[in-house]
């Protein structure tokens, strides 16, 4: 028998004085960690299968369970961590690419945590958001450089198509297939109730969700899954996905096990076949090619829908964004390296891309310097965790943000980073019917609505504190930000002063 080098990452600790052997944990765990040993007349665990998703801990009626990080350790070595050694063992055993999900968990600087927000004192009074009107509505799309009126003063300029949002937050692209029907339904219901948008991702639009079209962004990715005329016309905007923050430069791969009947119909591919989206769009090798796709999609929808181009935040993002703005796109979405995903090669996820804060600031500045900032709106994502991150992103130059991981956490995700297994115990990143039904959209949607409502209140409080009553007046207002513990170069890219200045 081959020796098992990789030791379990977690340890299941069961308090024998509390456990009543009800077997709830056994029934709830798709990873088959728990079982009842009839000889021993007690519950036992297989630590090697535990992904620390907390499903059993949360549902155990007697609070008998806790999951601990394994105390198994390697000898201290600042160069070779235990995690790195284990990864080498895994690859030596499998010969395969390491896969993981969600965003980059490594200890890179989180610039949002090194930026502080201003508040008015004495000379520029703050505004009480409970008593004064506060405007958090945003319009995404190209803005006219000038407004023309006829001789009677009537407005004759026509505004290009816009996405109208009640607050500057949208649910980011998550495909049906990578997440469940019930997760999609929760996002769609919540987006409609909130007056914001959710995004189909690259998996097409399930026929049940066409009724949420006014709050749907439909995506066109390199695999073109589920793309046809009705689909393009169903949403309020069309997003061309060129890249995503979790895996810049590579394509997507949804295993055949997740292509169940409904997913296959929605994606228009055979049931059980792997859904592989190529790394590049095979018809795009230049900004001119991108322009052709942008205008093809506009043409196909009678120029009534704004077109978004989504890219990953990478080294020369400012120049890339400048090109996209000139391609005729109405909105640029930039996804930072902490952006989540259902499955990515671990090495790519953890080593490719750049932080969204730096990408955003440099893109906003470049577009302003070139006098084309009004030609596009900017939407950023990649680990927006709170209303404070939203406010900081907008002050750095974003028109709105995308949230993905935060929305999934609101639905019950415990960030076990095992989505790629398809065994999500919380009914989110799975297509197994017994697991999907654990997420009830009638419970999930209100949780999303609560989260967004709370964030919007907090955004208004931040704005009031700054003496600003319109989110428009906050966009790119970097005077409202100060850095702490950042060097000159970082401050210069972010375009902000240090605290105390
Ligand atoms: S759910 Fe809790 S009480 Fe029930 S068998 Fe598991 S550990 Fe024991
Ligand atoms: S969606 Fe599910 S599998 Fe993925 S990280 Fe969250 S809890 Fe884990």
The predicted-structure confidence for 102-112, as pLDDT tens digits, reads as follows 999 999 999 99
Q: How many CB atoms lie within 10 A of CB 139?
A: 15
Bridge partners, 139 (sequence order): 164
Convert the pLDDT of each residue in 461-488 to its tens digit.
999 999 999 999 999 999 999 999 999 9
Ligand 2: centre distance to CA 56 (Å): 14
C-beta of 413 in contact with ligand 2 (< 6 A)? yes
Q: How many CB atoms lie within 10 A of CB 277?
A: 20
Ligand 1: centre distance to CA 408 (Å): 26
Measured CA to CA, the distance from residue 190 to residue 185 in angstroms comes to: 8
Q: What share of the chain is helix, strand, coil (3-state, %, to 5)?
A: 35, 15, 45
pTM score of the predicted model: 0.95
φ, ψ of residue 470 to 5 degrees: the values are -145, 135
C-beta of 314 in contact with ligand 2 (< 6 A)? no
483: three-class secondary structure by DSSP: strand
DSSP tag of 272: T
Residue at token pair 């960690």: 33
CA 71 to centroid of chain Cα atoms: 33
> What is the mean pLDDT of each successive set of 10 residues along the chain, which is 501 residues long?
85 97 98 97 96 97 96 90 93 93 93 97 90 96 91 89 98 95 98 98 95 98 93 97 94 84 91 87 94 97 98 97 98 96 92 97 98 97 97 98 98 96 96 97 98 98 96 97 98 98 93
Pocket of ligand 1 (CB under 6 A): 14, 19-25, 34, 43, 60-62, 64-65
The region, left, alpha or beta by phi > 0 then psi within -120 to 50, assigned to residue 410 is alpha
Could you tell me the end-to-end alpha-carbon distance of the chain, in angstroms, rounded to an integer? Answer: 66
Q: Tell me how many degrees the CA angle 301-230-308 measures, rounded to the nearest 5.
A: 50
- 8 Å CB contact between 120 and 110: no
- 8 Å CB contact between 348 and 248: yes
φ, ψ of residue 100 to 5 degrees: the values are -155, -175
Ligand 2: centre distance to CA 409 (Å): 9
Ligand 2: centre distance to CA 427 (Å): 8
Ligand 1 pocket test: which of 12, 23, 28, 46 has the largest number of ligand atoms within 8 Å of its C-beta?
23
């Amino acid at each position: 028998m081959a020796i098992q080098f990789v030791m379990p990452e977690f340890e299941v600790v069961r308090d024998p004085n509390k456990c009543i052997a009800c077997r709830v944990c056994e029934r709830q765990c798709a990873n088959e960690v728990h079982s009842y040993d009839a000889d021993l007349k007690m519950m036992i665990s297989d630590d090697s299968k535990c992904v620390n998703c907390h499903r059993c801990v949360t549902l155990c009626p007697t609070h008998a369970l806790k999951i601990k990080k394994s105390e198994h350790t390697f000898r201290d070595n600042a160069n070779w961590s235990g995690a790195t050694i284990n990864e080498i063992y895994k690859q030596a055993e499998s010969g395969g690419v390491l896969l993981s999900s969600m965003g980059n968990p490594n200890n890179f600087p989180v610039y949002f945590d090194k930026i502080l927000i201003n508040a008015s004192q004495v000379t520029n009074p703050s505004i009480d958001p409970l008593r004064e009107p506060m405007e958090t509505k945003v319009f995404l799309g190209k803005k006219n450089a000038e407004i023309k009126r006829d001789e009677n003063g009537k407005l004759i300029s026509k505004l290009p198509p816009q996405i109208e949002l009640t607050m500057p937050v949208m649910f980011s692209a998550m495909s049906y297939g990578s997440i469940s029907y019930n997760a999609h339904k929760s996002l769609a219901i919540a987006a409609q109730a909130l007056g914001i948008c959710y995004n189909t991702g690259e998996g097409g639009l399930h026929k049940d969700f066409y009724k949420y079209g006014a709050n749907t962004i439909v995506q066109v990715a390199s695999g073109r899954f589920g793309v046809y005329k009705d689909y393009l016309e169903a949403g309020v905007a069309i997003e061309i996905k060129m890249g995503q923050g979790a895996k810049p430069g590579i394509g997507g791969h949804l295993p055949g096990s997740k292509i169940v009947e409904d997913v296959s119909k929605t994606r228009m591919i055979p049931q059980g076949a792997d859904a592989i989206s190529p790394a590049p769009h095979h018809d795009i090798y230049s900004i001119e090619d991108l322009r052709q796709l942008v205008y093809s999609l506009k043409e196909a929808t009678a120029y009534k829908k704004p077109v978004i181009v989504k890219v990953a935040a990478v080294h020369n993002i400012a120049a890339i964004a400048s090109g996209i703005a000139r391609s005729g796109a109405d909105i640029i979405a930039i996804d930072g390296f902490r952006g989540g995903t259902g499955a990515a090669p671990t090495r790519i996820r953890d080593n490719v891309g750049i932080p969204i804060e730096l990408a955003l600031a440099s893109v906003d500045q470049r577009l302003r310097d070139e006098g084309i900032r009004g030609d596009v709106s900017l939407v950023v994502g990649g680990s927006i965790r709170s209303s404070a991150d939203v406010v900081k992103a907008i002050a750095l130059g974003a028109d709105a943000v995308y949230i993905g991981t935060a929305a999934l956490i609101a639905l019950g995700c415990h960030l076990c980073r095992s989505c790629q297994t398809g065994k999500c115990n919380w009914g989110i990143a799975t297509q197994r019917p017994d697991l999907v039904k654990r997420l009830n959209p009638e419970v999930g949607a209100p949780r999303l609505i609560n989260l967004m409502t709370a964030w919007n209140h907090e955004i208004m409080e931040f704005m009031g504190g700054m003496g600003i009553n319109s989110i428009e007046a906050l966009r790119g207002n970097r005077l409202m930000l100060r850095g702490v513990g950042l060097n000159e170069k970082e401050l210069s890219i972010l375009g902000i002063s240090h605290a105390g200045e």
